[in-house]
């Protein structure tokens, strides 16, 4: 039977998903000064759930308030907010939608304004000019064990408060991804060296979560197909890690790539030698790596990055190398993009990034439109890149200044 975006899928844990479209995780910055969920999350995720996707994956929910991906992250770290999380989950699961909480730790990619001394596998700073990130210190072995406990705790809270599943963020240069990378991880203990050791943190987190939430609860992992850095986490490394994750009973793998030093997740990494000259080749950033990953694992695969037309999505699904299509940026404006795609075989989403001038304001442009939807005013697709840069930086400064109860020692 031919598979397209309207086809349901049953995950290995037995949970059924109504279609093959997922709202991919995007940073939100909507938390209160104690990093708790707010009514803005409720409003935003209700709109996205009404929009028709089978799965919504949240932005980074952090496990430690000292180390954030950005000011305004939701954090579950003895800061209360359980009722707010329940309201968040209730809104995001209407319309028979599954809501996965993405769980992460920013590691050395914690902004300097949040913490000038972040943590990492090793004391290796990021290779960025005029870095907005402080020089990291290396986690002790006991602290690594504490990170594992924190991930497990947050996953348990996710299940208890009504989220449909969890996604462990192991990509994009955040802490777990740093452990996987031989460039960022130069430890000589059991957490560094061989790939088996570098993957130990990710596997311990996944195994611990599975034990805590049971066999019937979806666990996803976001993993780089490659870091796209010489000497970094390679595609060959990825193929081995996905085999291990299948042993660890992961239900869905979201494949991405890159990190802040080489942001392939933003600009694309098509693997052109491995894909056909087709609609897929023109759109999907990471589809070129899906075939070899499919050969390495039977875990359902989700590919995010670049998909805009239903034709490309259906072609990718029909080929069998991918099982779920992730959509991100179009849903920063068109919250009902999945319904639009499902309504017609000729449908496409709008590539808003192509109309943002100057393009360097794109990140702020999309983030601000998420905030506008969450605040109930609706998106502003006519905003310029310059306007977005200014407003985004002002918002970040206000949010950072409002953070309370931080312990950055």
pLDDT tens track for 51-68: 999 999 999 999 999 999
Residue 195: alpha-carbon gap to chain centroid: 22
pLDDT value at residue 405: 56
- Cα separation, 32 vs 40, whole angstroms: 10
pLDDT value at residue 247: 98
pLDDT value at residue 128: 73
Query: In the chain, what's the furthest Cα-to-Cα distance?
Result: 57
Q: What is the mean pLDDT of residues 344-353?
A: 91
Q: Are 211 and 141 in contact, with CB atoms under 8 Å apart?
A: no
359 confidence band (pLDDT: 50, 70, 90): confident
Neighbouring C-beta atoms of residue 13, cutoff 10 Å: 18
Q: What is the pLDDT of residues 209-233, one digit of tens each?
A: 999 999 999 999 999 987 677 778 8
User: Which residue carries 């000729």 as its tokens?
Assistant: 346
The answer, yes or no, to whether residue 273 has pLDDT greater than 80, is no
Q: What is the mean pLDDT of residues 70-87?
A: 96
More confident call, 400 vs 275: 400
The answer, yes or no, to whether residue 288 has pLDDT greater than 90, is no
408 confidence band (pLDDT: 50, 70, 90): very low
More confident call, 358 vs 349: 349
44 confidence band (pLDDT: 50, 70, 90): very high
Helix (H, G, I), strand (E, B) or coil at 390: helix
Q: What is the mean pLDDT of residues 130-159?
A: 95
The answer, yes or no, to whether residue 271 has pLDDT greater than 90, is no
Residues 6 or more apart whose Cβ sits within 8 Å of residue 285 = 257, 264, 265, 268, 269, 270, 305, 306
pLDDT value at residue 262: 52
pLDDT value at residue 130: 60
CATH fold, domain 9-357, is TIM Barrel (3.20.20)
272 confidence band (pLDDT: 50, 70, 90): very low
Range list of H helices, 25-123: 39-50, 82-92
Q: Are 330 and 281 in contact, with CB atoms under 8 Å apart?
A: no
- Cα separation, 214 vs 374, whole angstroms: 33
pLDDT value at residue 269: 41
Helix axes 362-375, 385-402, angle to 10 degrees: 60
Q: Where are the domains of the chain?
A: 9-357
pLDDT value at residue 283: 61
Sign of CA dihedral 118, 122, 123, 127: negative
358 confidence band (pLDDT: 50, 70, 90): confident
Among residues 53, 62, 52, which one has the least CA distance to residue 28? Answer: 62
Q: What is the mean pLDDT of residues 82-98?
A: 98
Average pLDDT, the chain: 90
More confident call, 270 vs 286: 286
- Cα separation, 246 vs 348, whole angstroms: 33
Q: What is the pLDDT of residues 295-337, one digit of tens each?
A: 999 999 999 878 899 999 999 999 999 999 999 999 999 999 9
User: Which residue carries 């595609």 as its tokens?
Assistant: 235
Residues 6 or more apart whose Cβ sits within 8 Å of residue 95 = 49, 50, 52
Q: What is the pLDDT of residues 190-207, one digit of tens each?
A: 999 999 999 999 999 999
Residues 6 or more apart whose Cβ sits within 8 Å of residue 146 = none
- Cα separation, 76 vs 93, whole angstroms: 20
- Cα separation, 11 vs 20, whole angstroms: 11
Q: Measuring CA to CA, how many Å separate 332 from each of 99, 182, 327, 361?
A: 17, 35, 10, 15
Q: What is the pLDDT of residues 177-189, one digit of tens each?
A: 999 999 999 999 9
Helix (H, G, I), strand (E, B) or coil at 94: helix
Q: Would you say how long the chain is, in residues?
A: 409
Q: Measuring CA to CA, how many Å separate 405 from each of 34, 70, 79, 394?
A: 7, 16, 9, 22
Query: Among the listed ranges 131-145, 250-264, 268-282, 394-408, which one has the minimum average pLDDT value?
Result: 268-282
């Amino acid at each position: 039977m031919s598979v397209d975006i309207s086809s349901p899928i049953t995950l290995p844990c037995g949970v059924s998903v109504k279609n093959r479209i997922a709202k991919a995780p995007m940073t939100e910055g909507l938390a209160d000064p104690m990093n708790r969920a707010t009514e803005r999350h409720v409003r935003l995720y209700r709109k996205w759930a009404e929009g028709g996707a089978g799965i919504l994956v949240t932005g980074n929910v952090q496990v430690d308030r000292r180390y954030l991906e950005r000011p305004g992250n939701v954090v579950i770290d003895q800061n209360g907010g359980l009722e707010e999380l329940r309201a968040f989950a209730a809104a995001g699961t209407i319309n028979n939608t599954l809501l996965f909480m993405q769980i992460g730790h920013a590691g050395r990619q914690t902004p300097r304004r949040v913490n000038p001394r972040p943590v990492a596998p090793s004391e290796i700073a990021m290779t960025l000019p005029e870095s907005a990130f402080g020089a990291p210190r290396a986690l002790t072995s006991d602290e690594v064990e504490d990170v594992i406990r924190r991930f497990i705790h947050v996953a348990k809270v996710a299940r208890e408060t009504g989220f449909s599943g969890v996604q462990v963020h192991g990509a994009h240069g955040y802490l777990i991804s740093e452990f996987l990378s031989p460039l960022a991880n130069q430890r000589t203990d059991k957490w560094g060296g061989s790939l088996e050791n570098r993957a130990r943190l990710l596997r311990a987190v996944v195994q611990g979560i599975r034990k805590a939430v049971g066999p019937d609860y979806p666990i996803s992992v976001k993993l780089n197909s490659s870091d796209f850095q010489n000497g970094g986490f390679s595609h060959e490394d990825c193929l081995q890690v996905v085999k291990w994750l299948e042993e660890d009973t992961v239900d869905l793998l979201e494949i991405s790539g890159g990190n802040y030093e080489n942001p392939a997740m933003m600009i694309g990494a098509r693997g052109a030698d491995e894909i056909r000259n087709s609609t897929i080749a023109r759109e999907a950033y990471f589809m070129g790596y899906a075939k070899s990953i499919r050969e390495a694992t039977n875990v359902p695969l989700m590919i995010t990055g670049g998909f805009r037309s239903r034709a490309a999505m259906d072609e990718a699904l029909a080929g069998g190398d991918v099982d779920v299509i992730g959509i991100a940026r179009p849903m920063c404006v068109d919250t009902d993009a999945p319904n639009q795609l499902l309504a017609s075989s000729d449908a496409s989403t709008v590539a808003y990034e192509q109309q943002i001038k100057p393009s360097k304001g794109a990140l702020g442009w999309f983030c601000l439109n998420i905030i506008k939807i969450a605040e109930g005013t609706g998106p502003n697709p006519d905003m310029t890149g310059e306007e977005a840069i200014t407003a985004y930086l002002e918002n970040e400064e206000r949010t950072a200044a409002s953070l309370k109860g931080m312990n950055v020692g």
